[in-house]
Amino acid sequence: MDIKQLMNKEQYEAVCHKDGPLLILAGAGSGKTRVITYRVANLMDKHGIQPENILAVTFTNKAAQEMKSRIKKAVGKSADKIVISTFHSLGCRMLRAHAERLGYTKSFSIYDEDDRERLIKECMHDCKVSDKEMRPYDIIKRISSIKNELITPKQFEDLYAEDYESKAISRIYTLSELKLAKNNAVDFDDLISKPIELLKKNPDILEAYREKFKYILIDEYQDINNSQYTLISMLAEKYKNICVVGDDDQSIYRFRGADITNILEFEEDYKDAKVIRLEQNYRSTKTILKAAHAVIKNNEGRKGKELWTENDVGEKITFYYADDETMESEAVIKEIYRIINTQDIKLKDIAVFYRTNAQSRVIEDRFRRAGVRYKLVGGLSFYARLEIKDMLAYLRVISNPKDVMSIKRIINVPPRGISDTTVDKLEAFAFENDLPFLEAMEKSEAMPDVKGAAKIAMKNFHDFILSMHTNKDTTTMKEIMARIITETGYISYWEDDPSPKAKERIENVKELVSAMAEYEEGKPDANLDDFLQQVALMSQSDKLDESDEAVTLMTIHSAKGLEFDLVFLTGMDEGIFPHKNCMEEPGGIEEERRLAYVAITRARKKLYIMSAVSRRQFGTKKVGAISRFVNEIPEDILERKGRLPVKQTQEKFYGNGPDDEPAADACPAPGADPVYNDEPQEDPYMAGQKVKHAKLGQGTILKTEPYGDDFKITVLFRSAGKKVLSAKFAGLEKI
């Protein structure tokens, strides 16, 4: 088989490269998997490289299996001798082989996240560190970061433990490492850091692995973190036959430690590196690629490349500006019905993307009502999420106080001091006295083996539910939810929770409030029972999600590596995408822009971009602004529909490039939820006011004007000229 006939010039050049470092900048849809497959085959067939001397590493087990399957198809059974694995699998393999060198046995345990949390809490207790002064999750995250930087407990104690917090973390880190060793256990960070320790302490083992893995291939190189970079660098040091494949424009995992500088600085690490750019795209139309490049070219931190294709020009990108999120979803549905009835497109060829999980609620609701089959990827159905099930349990008990299963779910959520043991005793008491479960709570004074505090908590819970039940038919659903949230402290409960999903849960509860307000709007006879019935019927239709013939709903992070004929990119509003927190973090806008680039390049034939004039937050509509990424797309390839027949003028509102970016907050991980700002109380600035910007320097305000829930401020800077900024995000200092 002549593989030269199967690929383009650049692909063939990458495949034929034998010795020395090679950087393959593989753009979206450029056929990188084909290149990886035939490169390995070429090393074996043409150059006689033994399969056991080849190491191929990627990030997921699914990707590793796909890689092995393709290589096996090309070279046969000898592919089984190639080490093709994830980073963590590789590290585990090395530790299993040489565990005794580090004081472990080969049967060591691997602690998951729950195990690690329990371990850290135990260490906090032993170190007399209260979870009120330091959150376990924050400590876990800090220790993980320390391990990623390959800093030992002794090094951290000597170099970084200066203030109280750092000293506490030092003690906990030291103790947790001792306990892990005593338990013959490692955590996931150790699966990378421990092999590095092994190789550093044992030159003979390092030399053996260097001789074994003479040819190394790393996929998705833009996503590696510091410890992964160090491990691979050590293995490749002798022969330097390292081939890395990646795309700096698709680096979207900074939240989990990925460092884009690893791919940007590859040529500095390996001075004689060869760089090959795969820029021919086999997936998308010329129009889609033009839009993608128009967006990503605004990033400064990139190698620079421009995808091209021999595919057709294709249709223009449709930008639809809806009244609100409901109209946005209905516009998507209307277009889907039009397409499947007029074109040879199936539901499984269509995807709907969103930046955050909470956005799926409206989309799911509308799809169910319209009878459009869908499957949810990368997250639970909105009504199946823990916090939504909690809220629905409250609503069901208020509607039907005899619903014992729902009572049990929420009796100690948020915690009220009613333990599982107390619940068991209460159930026995109710049975012995032939009382309904809720009524037994009212009579808990007659339970001698239950503490007084628990009795008071049960009585209060009973009184709250009974009061809500009595008044449910004369209270609006929005007021019912407001009272549940206020009197139970449910949102405060999650605000105090340090887990990464806490903010998402809060926003999902707010989204439920919006769903109820939307259901009630314009319906004078709307009631709680009807709403619960509708939700119950919706949930039963989840079986449709299992069908392959369904539209795919997913976050953009989940979409990386996938492709669809038609893509609907929803929620393209400032504050949602780009996410507000990312807008305020140095480098955050560039990562959000890379995320937009990933979203755009998932589309093969047609791309729809959706934005809305306003969206609900906590039951109240808030006015927003169209995402800056939309306005970076050339007008000649846009077809505008909906509320705006012509391009919206934003005058670089919120900033439109690195010089305009405010600094300073934490960019959320995927699944974090949209943030809308409160209504402004008053204009914070006035014309003529002297101000100072962290990057733009000193200037004078020329004018201010309301803009949705914010203010636009026109400032004449001494060196940067005239800029239009957001009052809330610019961080201007009055002088």
Could you list the active site residues?
32-33, 219-220, 250, 602
What is the per-residue DSSP string for 401-463?
TT-HHHHHHHTTSS--S--HHHHHHHHHHHHHTT--HHHHHHTGGG-TTS-HHHHHHHHHHHH
User: Taken in order 156, 161, 165, 171, is the CA torsion positive or negative?
Assistant: positive
Q: What is the CA radius of gyration of the chain?
A: 29
CA distance 528 to 616: 20
What is the per-residue DSSP string for 315-345?
PPEEEEEESSHHHHHHHHHHHHHHHHHHSS-
Helix or strand (DSSP H, E) at 606: strand 603-612
Take residue 361 and report the two structure tokens written for it: 């609620």
Q: Are 58 and 40 in contact (CB under 8 A)?
A: no
Mark 538-555 as b/e (b = at least 16 C-beta within 10 Å).
bbeebebbeeeebbbbbb
Give me the residue label for tokens 């002064």: 133
Q: Are 59 and 95 in contact (CB under 8 A)?
A: no
Instruction: Encode 491-513 in three state secondary structure.
Output: HHHHHCCCCCCHHHHHHHHHHHH
Q: Give CA 609 to chain center in angstroms.
A: 20
Instruction: Label the pairing between strands 690-693 and 697-707.
Output: antiparallel
Q: How many CB atoms lie within 10 A of CB 221?
A: 28
Length of the chain as a residue count: 735
Give me the residue label for tokens 């006015």: 623
CA distance 709 to 621: 11
